[in-house]
Every structure is written in structure tokens, then in C-alpha cells.
Amino acid sequence: MSDQETSVNITVNGQPVQAVPGEWVIAAAERAGVYIPRFCYHPRMSSVGMCRMCIVDIDTGRGPALQPSCMVAVSENMVVDTTSEQTRKAQDGVLEFLLLNHPLDCPVCDKGGECPLQDQTMAYGPGESRFVEEKRHFEKPIPVNSLVYLDRERCILCDRCTRFADEVAGDPLITFQDRGDQTQVNTFPDLPFSSYFSGNTVQICPVGALTAVPYRFKARPWDLTEVESTYPNPMGDRVVVQASRDQVLRYQGVDSDAVNWGWLTDKDRFAFEAGASDLRLKTPLVRGTPLGRFDPAGQELVEATWGQALSGAAEAIKAAVADKGPHSVAVLGGARLPNEDQYAWARLAKGVIGTDHVDAQLDDGLPAHAVIGLPRATVSRACAPGGTVVLLAPDPKEEQGTLYLRLRHAIVNDGVQLIELTPRATGLSHLAAFRLHHRPGEAAAVAAALMGGHIEAGPDGAIGGVAAVDVAAAAVAIADRSDKPITVVLGRPSLAESADFTVGAAAELSRFANLLSAGGRPGIAFLPALHRGNVFGALDMGLAPGLLPGRISLAEGGPALTESWGSVPAAPGVGARGILQAAAEGRIDVLILLGVDPLGDFPDRRLAEEALSGAGVIVASELFLNPSSARAHIVFPAAGFAERRGTHTNLEGRITAQRQVVTPPGTARADWAIAAELARRLGADFGFSSPEDVWDEIARVAPSHRGLSLEAIEAAGDGALVADSSIAFAPPEGITPVPAVDAYSLRLVAARRMYDRGTLVQHAPSLAGLAPGAVLALNPYDFDRVGVEPGAVVQVISSGGEVQAPVQADPGVPRGTAALGYNHPDLDVRDLVDPGTAVTDLRVQTR
């Protein structure tokens, strides 16, 4: 803040302070080391000046006057006195007022010990109350949804939760009701606070009015041990993990300027429950005799020692390599592991076993070159004021909650224009400048028209189902703002169609990158939005066919890495679909599953089924037994989040630390150690004795990460961005245009919802019940055409199969399209997806 031209000189308690123009006095004073007490002020929300606690003497030349420092911007020569007699009396008075109706039930309040009201009463309060009348009474506590309880007696009406719901989350479902001292926060009648972000209100509540059901009465703050860590989701949300008696009890968001601003989704915040589930694997399991002898023909999984399990796996791998060569071994998954664990498995697979049949994704994301081969954006770039965001991804509100919050803020407050290039409406649609909701499979045509400026409409006046006039207007809007960054959020908008269509659309958008970045303009960059926790780390660590650690291809990086690893695969392998096909055909003798469930997650369930039947020995490293790992021959119990150290890579390529706070259950181990131990039994010594050793090797051998030390990652605060990549984007060639939808059919969009059949959600008791019922959503205008009534349970038929589902009207689904949730507990959309077709067309009929 030393730049004289962009700073404002003020005086705080006699000390000269240089403040940022436009900054609130409360923030400027805090940076200068003077803390002004506050309850309603929150730096990530607009000021409301409700609690009046931050009232201080401010003199702007007309004499000192009491003013709320959260609402007065600094001005030149302003004099602030936070210690004057007048200030002290006003603050005393406000605290006394706040405590009048506060129940002072601190001994039984979860907030006690970390309560701003408690702390500030001690620091600034009058010490005793002169109130002898009866306090206000409300029923306590009441649920505002299934995760959050509200105690209105404790509430001091600071407007933080209600502001968060309205301003930040965009779910204004809690509000003030009544007036005077009967004012209360509440939901609307019969309308719960059903927000994906409700847990944040608990975190920002300055008293114990809002408590989270999973944490109520579990611990006192002073008994918690905590570490700062990175939640393993694609955003890499920064969290504090708090535990007591070796059990994780709470995640709190950390305000990282680059990433999550302190917010978390409820799904991530409360997923810690799954870690403590009784169903966690605690000991290795092998298929064998009841005495624990490994026997591939054994009927059941029995407990075994690590030695038995590891030897069994090592022998199976040795036999497979000796019998059919290294490519008879394949590794699937690993996208949820920390970077170090991914690297260790990658080195084991590619450097020791010699197979390149390795894929962290399950054919439900995007090819690696579309992630690390395109110019990479950061979240902050996407949110840069005045810029443009093209959403070519599934609904971020459902899949990347904190990214949704950041984008929402940028659109609402910073004038970012959002152009949706999606097959259906998203949680941001009502804020979008242009909603180009295309027909499934036809994004590329719209993208080409959008960026190329060559608008050629079909006979219906539309391009890919989007009115040509809308595409033209959006194209003009992009051109008009091309002096500001253009960011494409790139994900897999629908799992009912081939990824090629999305990659094709990305190719169209990137074709004009050079044009857009000419003349010093920031141009276009891509922010990949994939689903699995550390999938970006997995790609960087080489858990993909044809890749080696450090964003380099097998062909290009092989020779250099051979020096460190001794060998690399002789030829590129295949991805998840190829691996499963090979397994189905009996060509895979050892299939290694790293925290992955092809039976549950692979888009082609029949192929996954055949593959698991056809594979020789299945080895799984898992937290839980899932449908796939239950069919494994050897199961390693793996350590989960907060049970091991490591690093995480987010969608920007930002690397941040993950730390351990509890011990893994039973004898569960970190994956890097399992991989290193297996390698040792296969005759290779990695020399790893800690995740730090693994990272040191990554920083030595991975070209994009070369020289990046853990110390540098720590020192960077918000983590270290890895930007280098020697992978080139490969535009797909010869995509067959999709056929027209016939007059009686609907084209399917299948995307994930926040709460689904996912392992963590289903093992967290607070979240498991939140998955919504399965419905087939249609445009209200399509009911007549297809001849069904809203609400009816209909027969849904495709070339892949048929299911039954209730059908519901949803104006966010374009005409001619139908939408279903993917990975849903009640309805498996994969029953409809035909792997032989590029898009999925449905017919619906009454039963």
C-alpha cells in the first residue's frame, strides 16, 4: 500500500495509515492493526450497518461523529478514533443491547469458546447487565433444513446468514420476519432453506444461533486440534480440518482469495462423516480360504495381513507380465488421490510393470489433451471484472459449488457477462447474458458460429437448436468485450453423448484464440471443470494413457524419464473404455482399481460388467467396498482425506497442501506407500519413506513441476500455479454430425446433481437422504407433443434400454430435449445410454 497515487492517507488512533481508495474504514483499520469490533460486517458481503457495533468516531473535517466504520469509505485526511470516550460508550451500549435478549446459555452452546459475541463482550462490553425484565422467547432450536438448526433466542439479527443466502448463494430462502424486538430470522412457511450452501451460514454466524446438525454437541472448540488443508474437490477448496479424539468433526472454509473465499458446499462440508463410517475398510481383504490364504477361486473376501495381500498382488502381476506381457496389467482410477500417491502408482504402472493401460478417468470426463493442452485460465481470470465467461460445462451449481459462487459473484457484482453454451439451463441461467441452449450433440456448430462470426442458420432459423439471432447477438457481445479476458469453462455437459462433441466445440472456440489475443488483448483461455476430486493432479502425474508425469507425452518424455525410472512403456496404452474392452475380452490378467467403481460409474454398465467378469485378478485400493471392489480378489484399505499428507492440484493447476490430522482406520495405508511396497515386491526400490520424498522426486523428474519445492508451495499462500505444458490440444477430426431428432422423440441430457449415489454422499448419514427423486424433466411445451401428463410415471425407451420415471415440467429444458440425473440412487440413466450411438434419443409413453 505504499503507492502514493493510489492510496488515501488517514489517521487511526493517532497513527498515519495508508488506505486503499474505496476501502471501508473497518478494513483499513484492521490492516493497520486496529481491530474494530463487529458482528454484521463480513468482508465477502455488502455492508448493512445493522449491528452498530463497529460505530467509531470518524472526523472528515466536520468534527468527530459516531459512524459505522463498515459503511464509511476512507477519505483523505480522515481521522478515526476507536478509543474515544464517546466510541467506548456507544460500543458498551450496543453490546448491552445485544445481550438484553440473548439467553447467555454459553455453557450449553456449541459456539462457546469461539463466539464473537462472547469474545467481544469480554473485550468491549460493560461487564454487567442492567436488564431485569424477561427475555424474549422462541421455540428453540428449529430446523431450517435437515442440516442446520436455528435458535432464534441466541440470534442477534446481524443479517449475515440472510445476506449470504440472498447475495452469495442466490437462494433467498431465509429472511427477517416480524419487527421490533420480535424480529426473527426464519424460513418461509413450508419452504425449507434448501440450499447447497447452507452450512456456510453456520460458519459465519457470530453467535450460536445457527448450528450444523453433524457437529451439534460433538466437541468444545478448545478441545479441537486443527490443520489447514485442501479439500479434494476440483476447486481445491481451502479448509481447516478440525478433529477431536482422533476423529474429524468439522470442516471450516478458509478465505483463500484465489479459490473459495471461505465458502464450502454442504456436500463437501459434511462429507467428513463418511470418513468415520463403520463401513470403512480397516484391514486388507483377499479372496481365499477362511484361514486367509490367498486363493483366486475363493468365494469370499476374508481378512488378511498386509504381507499376504501385497504378495498376492505382486505374484499376480509378475505372473501376468511373464505370461502375456506388461499390457496385461491395467490401472483404473486414482483421480481422488493426492498428487504423491498418483505419482507413485503411475511410476509403479509405467516404470515398473511397464503398462500404459492407465486411466484416472472413467470415460466420463474429457481427454487429457483438452485439459492440459489448451491455454489454462484461473478462477480469478474468469471472474475478472468486465470479462466474458462461456459456459461449456455441466451446471457448476451442481458439480463445482464454490466455482458457482465465484462466478455468480463476478456476474452480479463485477459485470462479467455469462454466455451459456449448454444443452439445458443451469443455476446461473437467470444471470446469463445469453442462454444458447443447444440440442444435445450440436454445441460445436453453435461455437463455430459464435466465434467465427459466420452465422448460417438452418431452415428453422436456428443453429444447433439455438435461434440464429441469439447466436449473432452473443457473438457481437463477445467481440465487444474482447479487450477483457474471455474464459471458457470447459466440462462434460452431458454423459448421454460422446465427449467428442464438447471437445469439438472447444476446438471451435480455440480456433480464434490467436485472433482474440492479437493487439495485446487478453484473449481466450480455458478453465477445465471436471468432476473427480484430484483429476487434474492425476493428469499431471501421468495417470492417463500416453502421458508421463509433468504434462508430457510418453513419446516425448520417455527417454528422459527412463534415466530415473529405468524404463517406460514401449507403446502407448488405451483409456478406460479400451481397458474395460480388453478385460472383457480376457486380455487383462490384473486389473487394479484405485478408489474407483466402474460398475457404478462407467457410462457403459454392460461393458463394465463384462470387464469385471473377464479380468483375471482384480486388485482394489479403496476406502469402502463398492460394487466393483466387492468383486476384487485383493483389497487394500486406503487412507482417506485428513488421514494422510500430500498435495492437491485444482482445476487451475494450483498446487496446495493437504495435511493429516487423524490416523487412518485400522491398518489402512496411504496409497503412495502401497504402491511403493508393491514396487519393492516387484524388485524396484522407489526409496520413498514419506510423501515429501515422493514430491521431491516429482519436482526432479516431472518437466512441468521441475524445481517446485514444497516450501515454495507453502510460501505462496494460495498455492503454486503450474502453467507449463508440452501437451498439444488435438482437435477431433471427422465428427459425424448427429442425426435429426424424429418428431416423436426427445434427445437426452444426463448430468450429475450435487447429491447422488456417490460413495462419500451415501456414507455420510446427513447427506445420504438429500439426493432428489429421479424425474425425467421435459419442456412444458413438449407434453402435448409426446402425449404424457406432468407428474405421470412414464415408460422411457431408447435404443439402449428402457426405464420408468415420473415426468416433470421444467422450462429450463429446451424443447425436444429431456433431462435425467446421472448416478442417481433410484434410476440408472445408463440403462438408456447406447454405447453404439453418439447421442441418446428417447421415446416416452404412458405405461
Partner 1 sequence: MSAPAPPDLRIITSRFEFEDGHTLAGYERTGGYGGLRRALTMAPADVHGEVRIASLLGRGGAGFPAGVKWGFCPPGVWPRYLVVNGDESEPGTYKDRLLMERDPHQLIEGCLIACYALGLSQCFLYVRGEMAHAQERLASALNEAYEAGYAGANVLGAEDFSVDITLHWGAGAYIVGEETALIESLEGNRGMPRLKPPYFPASIGLYGQPTIVNNVETLSNLPWIVANGGEAFAAMGAESSTGTRVFAVSGHVATPGVFEVPFGTTTFRDIIFDPRYAGGMRPGRTLKTFIPGGASSPWFFDEHLDLPLEKAAVDQAGSMLGSGAIVVMDDTTDVVRACHNVVRFFARESCGKCTPCREGTSWLEKILSRILAGQGRPQDLDLLMDVCDNISPGIKWPPRQTTICPLGPSAVSPIASALERFRGEFEAYLPAAAVSVATSSGAAP
Q: Among 98-106, 291-299, 362-370, 737-745, which window interacts with partner 1 (CB under 8 A)?
A: 98-106
Rounded Cα gap, residues 284 and 302, in angstroms: 8
Task: Decide if residue 78 touches partner 1 (CB under 8 A).
Answer: no
Is residue 829 involved in binding partner 1 (CB under 8 A)? no
- Distance (Å, whole) CA 531 – CA 396: 10
**Out of 28, 80, 98, 209, which residue is the one contacting partner 1 (CB under 8 A)?**
98
Using CB under 8 A as the binding rule, whether residue 52 contacts partner 1 is answered as yes
The answer to whether 71 contacts partner 1 (rule: CB under 8 A) is yes
The nearer residue to partner 1, 174 or 777, going by C-beta atoms, is: 174
- Could you tell me how many residues of this chain bind partner 1 (CB under 8 A)? 36
Query: Which H/E stretch holds residue 776?
Result: strand 776-778
- The residue type of 314 is A
| Interface positions, 99-128, toward partner 1 (CB under 8 A) | 100-101
d(CA 677, CA 675): 5
Classify residue 663 as exposed, middle or buried by CB count within 10 Å of its CB (0-12, 13-18, 19+).
Answer: exposed
Site stretch for partner 1 (CB under 8 A), options 82-90, 197-205, 390-398, 799-807: 82-90
Q: Cell 478494513 identifies what position?
A: 27
State in angstroms the smallest separation of the CB of 165 from partner 1: 14
- Residue showing cell 450452501: 197
Residues 6+ apart with CB under 8 A from 389: 382, 407, 410, 411, 416, 417, 418, 419, 486, 487, 488, 489
Say if CB 157 and CB 176 are below 8 A apart: yes
Task: Check binding of 245 to partner 1 (CB under 8 A).
Answer: no
- Which residue in the set 7, 47, 361, 823 belongs to the binding site for partner 1 (CB under 8 A)? 47
Residue found by looking up cell 498455492 in the block: 719
- In this structure, what DSSP letter does residue 309 have? H
x/- site string to partner 1, residues 592 to 611, per CB under 8 A?
--------------------
Q: How far is the CB of 387 from partner 1 (least distance, A)?
A: 23
643 CA to centre of own chain:
20
CB 661 within 8 A of CB 243: yes
Residue 55 interacting with partner 1 (CB under 8 A): yes
Q: Does 412 bind partner 1 (CB under 8 A)?
A: no
Instruction: Please identify which residue in 5, 128, 178, 742 interacts with partner 1, judged by CB under 8 A.
Output: 178
* Binding residue (CB under 8 A) for partner 1 from 1, 20, 45, 90: 90
User: Residues 1, 20, 45, 66: which binds partner 1 (CB under 8 A)?
Assistant: 66
Taking CB under 8 A as the criterion, the residue among 131, 188, 744, 781 binding partner 1 is 131
List 133, 563, 711, 784, residue binding partner 1 (CB under 8 A)? 133
CB nearer to partner 1: pick between 90 and 431: 90
92 part of the interface to partner 1, by CB under 8 A: yes
Residue 205 sits in the site that holds partner 1 (CB under 8 A): no
Tell me the window of 93-101, 250-258, 341-349, 674-682 that interacts with partner 1 (CB under 8 A): 93-101
If one asks whether residue 831 binds partner 1 (CB under 8 A), the answer comes out as no
Letters for 754-783 (x = contact with partner 1 by CB under 8 A, - = none) are ------------------------------
Asked if 138 touches partner 1 (CB under 8 A), the answer is no
DSSP 376: B
Query: In the set 84, 86, 289, 581, which binds partner 1 (CB under 8 A)?
Result: 86
794, 805 in Cβ contact below 8 A? yes
Decide whether 176 or 744 has the Cβ nearer to partner 1. 176
Q: Decide if residue 180 touches partner 1 (CB under 8 A).
A: yes
Region of 43-51, 265-273, 359-367, 838-846 interacting with partner 1 (CB under 8 A):
43-51
CA–CA separation, 754 and 234 (whole Å): 13
Q: What is the DSSP string of 33-96?
A: T-PPP-SS--TTS-----S-TTEEEEESSS--EEEETTT-B--TTEEEESSSHHHHHHHHHHHH
Helix 671-681 and helix 306-324: axis angle, to 10°? 60
Q: Which of 300, 280, 274 is nearest to 625 (CA)?
A: 280
Q: Does 635 bind partner 1 (CB under 8 A)?
A: no
For residue 716, give every residue at least 6 positions away whose Cβ sits within 8 Å of its Cβ, in sequence order, or none.
none
- CA neighbor of 329 nearest in space, from 629, 574, 555: 574
Determine if 97 is a binding residue for partner 1 (CB under 8 A).
Answer: yes
CB 214 within 8 A of CB 202: no
Would you give the DSSP letter of residue 652?
T
The reply to whether 93 sits near partner 1 by the rule CB under 8 A is: yes
Between CA 330 and CA 579 the distance in angstroms is 7
Nearer to partner 1, 156 or 588 (CB): 156
Q: Which stretch binds partner 1 (CB under 8 A): 24-32, 178-186, 339-347, 553-561?
A: 178-186
Which one of the spans 175-183, 265-273, 657-665, 822-830 is the region binding partner 1 (CB under 8 A)?
A: 175-183
DSSP-based helix, strand, coil % in the chain, nearest 5: 30, 20, 50
Binding residues (CB under 8 A) for partner 1: these are 47-53, 55, 65-66, 71, 86, 89-90, 92-94, 96-98, 100-101, 130-133, 156-157, 175-176, 178-183
